[in-house]
Amino acid sequence: MSQASFDQDTIASHVGAAHLDRISTPIWVFDIDQGRVAWANAAALEVWGASHLDELRQRDMSADMSISVAQRLRQYQEDFDRHNAEFTEQWTLYPNGVPRTISVVFRGYRLADGRMGMLCEALARSDDEPDTLRSAEALLHTSVMIALYSQDGIPLYCNPAARAGYHDAKSHLSERFVEDGDYDRLMERLRSVSGCRMTARIRTSHGIKWHEITGRECRDAVSGEIAYLFSENDISDLKETEQRVRYLADHDVLTGLPNRHFMQSNFRSLARAVPDNSDSALILLDLDRFKAVNDLLGHAAGDELLIDVATRLKTAVGDDGLLARLGGDEFLIWLPKPQSTRSPEDVADAILEELASDFVVNNHTFAISASLGISRYPTDGQSLSTLMKNADLALYDAKADGKGTHRNFTLRMLSQVEQQVQIESDLRLAIDRNELELHYQPRVDVDSGKITGAEALVRWHHPVRGMVPPSEFIPISEETGFITELGAWVVETTAAQQKRFSDEGFSDIVVSLNMSARQFHAVNFLDRMVSLSERTGCDPTRLELEITETMLMGTANDIVSKLTALREIGFGIAIDDFGTGYSNLAYIQRYPLTSLKIDRTFVSSIETHGPVTRMVMSLCQLIGVKSVAEGVETFEQLEWLREHQCDEIQGFLFSRPVPVHQFMELLRNPPALMPTQPTLAYAKA
């Protein structure tokens, strides 16, 4: 029977009430809006336990109808209105309060006044088990959306909740998903594991919602074919709460900017997105005098000011970076864009300019400046914490430098300890990575102007920082003990080089090398020096060990015997930096020395230190030790030294320390040392 547009009174005239009354199938028309039976045949009257139609029409069914049933009926009404719907469901009626379960086919039925009613046809009396009856009831009443789909996603059954929730109960399952691929993913999982759960954005009658869908493979009871049973819950509220919580965790409530937590949890992916060799940077910003404003005007005004600052920062940074508020008056700017034409310094300038105009809060006008610290990624650090720490040091520097300015992080800013730790760990790799090199500074005979030798000076080519001067890593190596390893490398390398000089025809050239106290006192030091010539083919008489005065302090006998042993092998011994330490002249003659190197400070101030220097040179002559003046930079110094019979000079005047090939060049083509003529060759490193 299809939906008809006749009313209860015309039913008899069309079909004939007598005919309908004679049908044993109970049929009745229900007026959903009124909650009353509008018409019923004899069999239906029997089902409802009514003596005649008028009595049944009097019954107000809505009076003790549960809300869920009422809602379901409304849903049916809508379904009938929208399309030619037909449902078969197990219903439990309560004629005169006694439960009676029957299968009913429901169809839409247009009442005389145009409203949508419902034509009900009881199929048969159900004689199912009570549990089956209850489960059928549960299916009807539950708010969980339950639906059965064919393997191809065609809907086979939808419970009332599903019909109410679906934007279109007849549509293909795939049409319900908002995101491309969700449907395929769901079906894929169902086919492979036969049961699954997923959360997806779904088109519903109430708009797009988050649904949690549980699917399971089963068989369609009607066709016996494989089908999928889904139950769905609307978890939009939960999702929204979750998203809100996540948003709150990652954002600063006051300014809406990402916060410290956001930076911490996202920095890795931000950094990963940076292409190699690009100039990324992190800027830390701290407002100057913010505390004063806060104290003066109160926190509410302080908050207002911060919001204004955040807005201005956004303008200044634009699309070039990511702005975050770390807390208080501290902001962070991550600048990843290598293609941007603005350098981090440009951005910092733009920020300072943006903040330069007056702020107005609570009718107060005042100026607020900021200090900024910049650290580069990855040069100044690869982790967020290192970059922030270093940018903070730069920021501190900017504050100390009068505020309202920006500074780049430099190694100098690292605290002693941090720098040491970094240098120490890098140094350990320096030898293996071939980052160390020896440069040679010529020693020149004052009278003949000939190169007599050279001092080997270590150089470190740091992969990131470039050339690190010995003054930065020698003291640290001494402290950590790495100097023993470094010193051993210098000894071996110098010895091998001396052999090469000799092979090149410069067997007279004496190479001096610097010794550290630790290295000198190491247990196997002497043994290694004994076997050095064997290992490298060097001539020990062409190697001179430079030791400092302080190293001579201690158990004198011990040192004397060690020095004597070294001398016996052939090594020369020089006192380095003479004049800066003990300078006990009487002491000097107790040691088997070959040279005495007069410290640069004496040479550079010959006018005042002249007498002392002269005395040192006389002493050298007396005890038969070569006097070597270090750090000779001018002709005047050279002239003076020559006059006072200094033996050798070393200094920028003749040459800076140079790489070995340049030193060889000086050996092959020696420049003339002519003190009176300013034509002296100046070999530059």
Site residues (CB under 6 A) for ligand C2E?
441, 457-458, 469-471, 474, 487, 490, 514, 516, 576-577, 600, 631-633, 651-652, 657
Nearer to Ca ion, 352 or 474 (CB): 474
Cα separation values, 231 from 147, 193, 639, Å? 7, 17, 102
- Please state whether beta strands 436-445 and 648-649 pair in parallel, antiparallel, or not at all (unpaired): antiparallel
**Nearest to 148, CA basis, from 158, 140, 161, 138:** 158
CB of 403 to ligand C2E, least distance (A): 36
Nearer to ligand C2E, 44 or 638 (CB): 638
Nearer to Ca ion, 420 or 514 (CB): 514
- Please state whether beta strands 330-335 and 280-287 pair in parallel, antiparallel, or not at all (unpaired): antiparallel
CB of 425 to ligand C2E, least distance (A): 20
CB of 482 to ligand C2E, least distance (A): 11
Distance of alpha carbon 380 from alpha carbon 103, whole angstroms: 78
Nearer to Ca ion, 56 or 457 (CB): 457
Site string for Ca ion, 490-519 (x = CB under 5 A): ------------------------x-----
457 binds, among ligand C2E, Ca ion, none (CB under 5 to 8 A by kind): ligand C2E
Nearer to Ca ion, 514 or 655 (CB): 514
469 binds, among ligand C2E, Ca ion, none (CB under 5 to 8 A by kind): ligand C2E
Q: Is 126 in the site for Ca ion (CB under 5 A)?
A: no
490 binds, among ligand C2E, Ca ion, none (CB under 5 to 8 A by kind): ligand C2E
CB of 578 to Ca ion, least distance (A): 8
- Please state whether beta strands 359-361 and 658-659 pair in parallel, antiparallel, or not at all (unpaired): unpaired
Q: Is 546 in the site for Ca ion (CB under 5 A)?
A: yes
Query: Between 236-250 and 260-272, two packed helices, what is the crossing angle to 10 degrees?
Result: 90
**Nearest to 231, CA basis, from 144, 171, 139, 172:** 144
Distance of alpha carbon 517 from alpha carbon 533, whole angstroms: 22
Integer-rounded Cα radius of gyration of the chain: 48
Distance of alpha carbon 439 from alpha carbon 469, whole angstroms: 12
Sequence-separated (6 or more) residues with CB below 8 Å from residue 209:
201, 202, 234, 236
CB of 650 to ligand C2E, least distance (A): 6
Nearer to ligand C2E, 413 or 638 (CB): 638
CB of 434 to ligand C2E, least distance (A): 16
557 binds, among ligand C2E, Ca ion, none (CB under 5 to 8 A by kind): none
Q: Is 648 in the site for Ca ion (CB under 5 A)?
A: no
657 binds, among Ca ion, ligand C2E, none (CB under 5 to 8 A by kind): ligand C2E
CB of 630 to Ca ion, least distance (A): 5
Number of residues that bind Ca ion (CB under 5 A): 5
Residue type, 22: R
**Nearest to 499, CA basis, from 548, 455, 532, 451:** 532
CB of 517 to ligand C2E, least distance (A): 9
- Do 255 and 307 form a contact (C-beta atoms < 8 A)? yes
CB of 596 to Ca ion, least distance (A): 11
451 binds, among ligand C2E, Ca ion, none (CB under 5 to 8 A by kind): none
Query: Between 606-623 and 635-643, two packed helices, what is the crossing angle to 10 degrees?
Result: 40
CB of 666 to ligand C2E, least distance (A): 15
Q: DSSP alpha helices (H): ranges in 251-379?
A: 260-272, 290-297, 299-317, 344-356
Tokens describing residue 345: 């310094």
- Do 457 and 438 form a contact (C-beta atoms < 8 A)? yes
CB of 424 to ligand C2E, least distance (A): 16
Taking phi over 0 as left and psi of -120 to 50 as alpha, with beta for the rest, 148 belongs to beta
Contacts (CB under 5 A) with Ca ion, residues 572-591 = 576-577
Nearer to Ca ion, 381 or 579 (CB): 579
Nearer to ligand C2E, 397 or 546 (CB): 546
CB of 495 to ligand C2E, least distance (A): 13
516 binds, among ligand C2E, Ca ion, none (CB under 5 to 8 A by kind): ligand C2E
Residue type, 412: R
CB of 603 to ligand C2E, least distance (A): 8
Element (H, E) at 58: helix 53-58
Nearer to ligand C2E, 272 or 661 (CB): 661
631 binds, among ligand C2E, Ca ion, none (CB under 5 to 8 A by kind): ligand C2E
Nearer to ligand C2E, 255 or 516 (CB): 516
Contacts (CB under 5 A) with Ca ion, residues 606-635 = 630
Tokens describing residue 285: 């910003």
Distance of alpha carbon 442 from alpha carbon 453, whole angstroms: 6
Tokens describing residue 279: 């100039």
Q: DSSP alpha helices (H): ranges in 401-538?
A: 416-430, 470-480, 483-503, 517-521, 525-530, 532-536
Q: Strands (DSSP E) along 221-269, which ranges? A: 226-234
Nearer to ligand C2E, 17 or 660 (CB): 660
Distance of alpha carbon 158 from alpha carbon 215, whole angstroms: 14
Nearer to Ca ion, 426 or 576 (CB): 576
Distance of alpha carbon 333 from alpha carbon 325, whole angstroms: 9
Stretch that binds Ca ion, among 115-123, 271-279, 542-550, 608-616 (CB under 5 A): 542-550
Distance of alpha carbon 226 from alpha carbon 246, whole angstroms: 41
79 binds, among Ca ion, ligand C2E, none (CB under 5 to 8 A by kind): none
Nearer to ligand C2E, 457 or 538 (CB): 457
Distance of alpha carbon 516 from alpha carbon 653, whole angstroms: 27
Distance of alpha carbon 667 from alpha carbon 554, whole angstroms: 40
Residues in touch with Ca ion (CB under 5 A): 514, 546, 576-577, 630
